[in-house]
Amino acid sequence: MDPRSQKPRDFVAAFRNLTEEAKKSRLTQMKWIQKYEPFFEEYEKLQQELDELYKEKKIKVKDEIERDVTKRREHAYRYRLQLMA
């Protein structure tokens, strides 16, 4: 009995209800995982491809920036030579 009330409690039924609910919940989780697991695997593959593309793009951008800086320096050097002549 609950010390705060006079109503008797059926602990066996409560325990049975909790275990049944846990089984149903676990079964629902397993069905959900079986249904959506291929999507997670595909997502992981796509994420890896995106990471690789990002790294390639980062390297390309870095090379382009270095080329642009070199061109600007050469242009400035030629311009100064023209001014001196």
Alpha-carbon span 31 to 22, nearest angstrom: 14
Q: Model confidence over 24-70: pLDDT tens digits? A: 999 999 999 999 999 999 999 999 999 998 888 877 877 888 888 88
Quick one: pLDDT at residue 30? Answer: 95
- Phi, psi (rounded to 5 degrees) for 66: -60, -40
* Residue bearing the bigger pLDDT, 72 or 35: 35
Among 73, 74, 54, smallest CA distance to 62 is for: 54
Indicate the pTM of the whole model.
0.43
Among 41, 19, 42, 22, smallest CA distance to 30 is for: 22
Asked whether residue 22 carries a pLDDT value surpassing 70, the answer given is yes
The first and second tokens of residue 14, run together, are 């409560």
* Residue bearing the bigger pLDDT, 57 or 16: 16
